[in-house]
């Protein structure tokens, strides 16, 4: 596609429920990143994929968070047993590593846990 697509754009869920957030990167971009942006803060790194594998998952806050990218394109961020503190905007970005840090960000998914 022309840009990075994230779905849904908004998600409201009850505390304790499971959610999945989807990121569809730019075609051909091998690197994919997830960030979390809390209200009034800058985005915080969660996880980075190079192809199908998670090259760096050091930003995942705990084991309730998990992400996959099985075919090296679309990625899904999964959050189990959601807590109110998980409420944030989840941003996805993709890049071609040869592009010298030319990231493209999606518009994000606003997750609200009630």
Partner 1 sequence: AQSVTQLGSHVSVSEGALVLLRCNYSSSVPPYLFWYVQYPNQGLQLLLKYTSAATLVKGINGFEAEFKKSETSFHLTKPSAHMSDAAEYFCAAARSNTGKLIFGQGTTLQVKP
Report the residue number, 27 or 100, with the smaller CB distance to partner 1. 100
* Residue nearer to partner 1 on the CB measure, 63 or 101: 101
* φ, ψ of residue 31 in degrees (nearest 5): -100, 135
Q: Would you state the structure tokens that stand for residue 31, as one six-digit string?
A: 């690197």
Count CB-CB contacts under 10 A for residue 74: 14
Smallest distance, Å, CB 41 to partner 1?
A: 6
Among the listed residues 55, 61, 64, 2, the one whose alpha carbon sits nearest the alpha carbon of residue 32: 55
What is the chain's alpha carbon radius of gyration, rounded to the nearest angstrom? 13
Which residues bind to partner 1, rule: CB under 8 A? 4, 31, 33, 35, 40-45, 48, 50, 55-56, 59, 91, 93, 95, 97, 100-103, 105-108
Token pair listed for 77: 């961020």
**Smallest separation, CB 52 to partner 1 (Å):** 16
Q: Which is nearer to partner 1, 40 or 70 (CB)?
A: 40
Q: How far is the CB of 1 from partner 1 (least distance, A)?
A: 14
Q: Which is nearer to partner 1, 16 or 102 (CB)?
A: 102
Nearest to 26 by CA among 2, 50, 62: 2
**From the CB of 44, what's the least distance to partner 1, in Å?**
7
């Amino acid at each position: 596609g022309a840009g990075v697509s994230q779905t849904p754009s908004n998600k409201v869920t009850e505390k304790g429920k499971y959610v999945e957030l989807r990121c569809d990167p730019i075609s051909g971009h091998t690197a994919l990143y997830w960030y979390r942006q809390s209200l009034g803060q800058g985005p915080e790194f969660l996880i980075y994929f190079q192809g199908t594998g998670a090259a760096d998952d050091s930003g995942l806050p705990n084991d309730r968070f998990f992400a996959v990218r099985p075919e090296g394109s679309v990625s899904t961020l999964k959050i189990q047993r959601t807590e109110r503190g998980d409420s944030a905007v989840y941003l996805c970005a993709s890049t071609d590593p040869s592009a010298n840090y030319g990231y493209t960000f999606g518009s994000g998914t606003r997750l609200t846990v009630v």
